[in-house]
Amino acid sequence: MTNPLARARGHGSAKSGVHHWIAQRATAVFLLFLLGWMGYAMFMLAAADHAAAQAFIARPFNAALLILLLIMLFYHAMLGLQVVIEDYVHRPAMELTLHLLTRAGAWLGMALGIVNVLKIALGA
């Protein structure tokens, strides 16, 4: 006899909704702290020239937080846009296209941001 859970998994409401729900909120909590730091960074860099901004991001702690911010921000944005598309776009072809664009945009933004922070931090 199989466990009833085995029959339920992957069907009906037992898909990935809970993971999406939790990930949306977990990234939100991380972003609260990371954006607090970002506010401090904007405060410090409000009148900064290029050299000052470069020096700020190049500090390992700042670079690490900026990379974390990029990961959480684009992931959170991707999950949010996904729900908006699911709620308002009902033509299947259009919906699929927008989902793919959202995901491509989010991963690309994340990768571009991280590569550039690393470039600044490693002084390349």
Partner 1 sequence: MKAKRRPLSPFMIGPYYKPQLTSLMSIAHRASGVFLSLVAAPLLLWWIIAVSSGPEAYRALSGFFSGWFGRLLLAASLLGLFYHLFNGIRHLVWDTGRALEIRDAYRAGFLVLAATALATVGMLGVLLWA
- Asked if 98 touches partner 1 (CB under 8 A), the answer is no
Calculate the CA dihedral of residues 8, 18, 70, 99 and round it to 10 degrees.
60
Is residue 39 near partner 1 by the rule CB under 8 A?
yes
User: Which CB, 68 or 80, lies closer to partner 1?
Assistant: 80
Among 11, 13, 49, 61, indicate the residue that binds partner 1 (CB under 8 A): 49
In contact, 60 and 121? CB cutoff 8 Å: yes
Binds partner 1 (CB under 8 A): choice among 11, 12, 16, 43 = 43
Of 124, 122, 121, 123, the residue nearest 57 (C-alpha): 121
Nearer to partner 1, 8 or 102 (CB): 102
State the Cα–Cα distance between residues 42 and 95, nearest whole angstrom: 37
Using rule CB under 8 A, residue 113 touches partner 1: yes
Minimum distance from residue 93 beta carbon to partner 1 (Å)? 21
**Is 19 among the residues that bind partner 1 (CB under 8 A)?**
no
b/e map of 30-63 (b: 16 or more CB within 10 Å)? Answer: bbeebeeeeeebeeeeeeeeeeeeeebbeeeebb
Position 121, amino acid: A
Q: Which stretch binds partner 1 (CB under 8 A): 6-14, 80-88, 91-99?
A: 80-88
Size of the site for partner 1 (CB under 8 A): 31
